[in-house]
Amino acid sequence: MSEQMIRVLIAGPRGKMGKEAVKMVKETEHFSLVAVIDRKNGGKKLRELEGQPDIDVPVYDDLRTCVSEVEADVLIDLTRPEAGKKHLEIALEYGIRPVVGTTGFSDEDIEDYSRIAEEKEIGAVIAPNFAVGAILMMKFAQMAAKYMPDVEIIEKHHDQKLDAPSGTAMKTAQMIKEVRASKKQGHPDEKEDLQGARGGDYDGVRVHSVRLPGLVAHQEVLMGATGQTLSIRHDTIDRSAFMPGVKMAVEMVMKLDILVYGLENLME
Ligand code: NAP
């Protein structure tokens, strides 16, 4: 039996992630790209946008207009939090299943959207990291933190990233919080001579953000105990690393009737 064709919208097709998503959807036999949302190119066709494939897909500058004219099953959002939130609300309102890679959502946002998805019985996925290796890094870090509870996270990203710390670092710190008692790390009397030198503090876990050109997305979780240290590290070398996860989310969101936060909750 042939797989059901999934009609996909992409918001942010000109972005670094959006471009990869356009390529992935185009190359997936049972996905059909039905429109894209790009605030600067409404009324054009995708083929008219620089670096895009030669396909006759309409470009809308506004999601609401798009969904009132185009039938779609899933919206992939790879924009910025302010646009991502608006898009998520509109998608849920119109019964289109959102798959959101945009980062910068708060715990309250996730709770609000989970409630709406549950009320409407519609699937949604929000994942701050679609790279399977990064999910494994977070899971391994959570396992290790149970036995080595002194943890610092160093995340490194390209210098165009707007939010800090990264969604992945926040998610890692949250997962670590689930398995260890709250604790203050470092010397009880330590003081910073340079503000921020000890990084952000999430329930005692110190989080450090590095931003440099040339980097993509990297994270190291460092643990220390008497006479030993453990480092768990993941490096994203290319943004194509995120696409198998986005593809899996688009397939799985069709079967969900709740919001799932985090790719790890879609993986067995
Ligand atoms: P990017 O290259 O800067 O692309 C962002 C795109 O969103 C651009 O095309 C931009 O278009 C558009 N955009 C920005 N603000 C908008 C708004 N208010 N309304 C509509 N469109 C808007 O960024 P990127 O590296 O592709 O990342 C996109 C998002 O994905 C970020 O939130 C990033 O943190 C996240 N991310 C997630 C993962 C994951 O695995 N979940 C991995 C990497 C990145 P304009 O030119 O019009 O501004």
> For the segment 221-234, what is each residue's pLDDT rounded down to a tens digit?
999 999 999 999 99
Q: What's the average model confidence in pLDDT over 153-180?
A: 94
As a whole number of angstroms, the distance between CA 10 and CA 166 comes to 22
Tokens of 256: 């969900």
Could you tell me if 208 and 152 are in contact, meaning their C-beta atoms sit under 8 angstroms apart?
yes
Pairing of strands 31-37, 6-11: parallel
Tell me which residue of 244, 242, 247, 245 sits closest to 265, measured CA to CA.
245
The two structure tokens encoding residue 71: 């039938």
Q: Is 262 in the pocket of ligand 1 (CB under 6 A)?
A: no
Please work out whether the CB of residue 98 comes within 6 Å of at least one atom of ligand 1.
Answer: no
pLDDT of residue 107: 87
Q: Average pLDDT for residues 187-214, to the nearest whole number?
A: 96
Is 213's pLDDT higher than 60?
yes
* Residue 80 neighbours by CB under 8 Å, 6+ apart: 102, 104, 162
Band (3; pLDDT cuts 50, 70, 90): confident
Which comes out higher in pLDDT, residue 1 or 4?
4
> If you average pLDDT over every residue of the chain, what do you get?
95
203 has a pLDDT exceeding 60? yes
Atom of ligand 1 nearest to the CA of 166: 34
pLDDT digits (tens, 9 = 90+) for 90-101: 999 999 999 999
Q: Using a 6 Å cutoff on CB, does residue 78 contact ligand 1?
A: yes
Q: How many CB atoms lie within 10 A of CB 240?
A: 12
> What confidence category does residue 2 fall into, taking pLDDT thresholds of 50, 70 and 90?
low
Tens of pLDDT along 78-87?
Answer: 999 999 999 9
pTM of the model: 0.87
Beta strands (DSSP E) in the chain are: 6-11, 31-37, 59-60, 74-77, 97-100, 124-126, 151-157, 200-202, 205-211, 217-225, 228-236, 259-261
What is the bridge-based pairing of β-strands 74-77 and 6-11?
Answer: parallel
1 has a pLDDT exceeding 60: no
101-143 tens-digit pLDDT: 998 898 899 999 999 999 999 999 999 889 999 999 999 999 9
pLDDT of 28 > 70? The answer is: yes
Is the Cβ–Cβ distance between 79 and 14 less than 8 Å? no
pLDDT for the residue 104: 87
Residue from 16, 80, 135, 172 whose mutation best tests the ligand 1 pocket (most atoms within 8 A of CB)? 80
| Phi, psi (deg, nearest 5) at residue 91 | -60, -50
Taking residues 195-219, what's their average pLDDT? Answer: 96
Two tokens at 19? 């471009």
- CA dist 14 to 9, 24, 97, 227, Å? 13, 14, 21, 49
First to last CA, the chain: 25
Residue showing tokens 């949250």: 174
Phi and psi angles of residue 89, each rounded to the nearest 5 degrees, phi first = -65, -45
- CA of 136 from ligand 1 middle (Å) equals 24
**pLDDT at position 53:** 94
DSSP of 58-126: BEES-HHHHHHHS--SEEEE-S-HHHHHHHHHHHHHTTPEEEE------HHHHHHHHHHHHHHT--EEE
Q: Which atom of ligand 1 is nearest to the CA of 131?
A: 40
Tokens of 77: 């959002």
Closest atom of ligand 1 to 158 CA is: 25
Average the pLDDT over 48-53 and give the result: 94
**CB-ligand 1 contact for 17 (6 Å cutoff):** yes
- For residue 212, the model assigns a pLDDT of 98
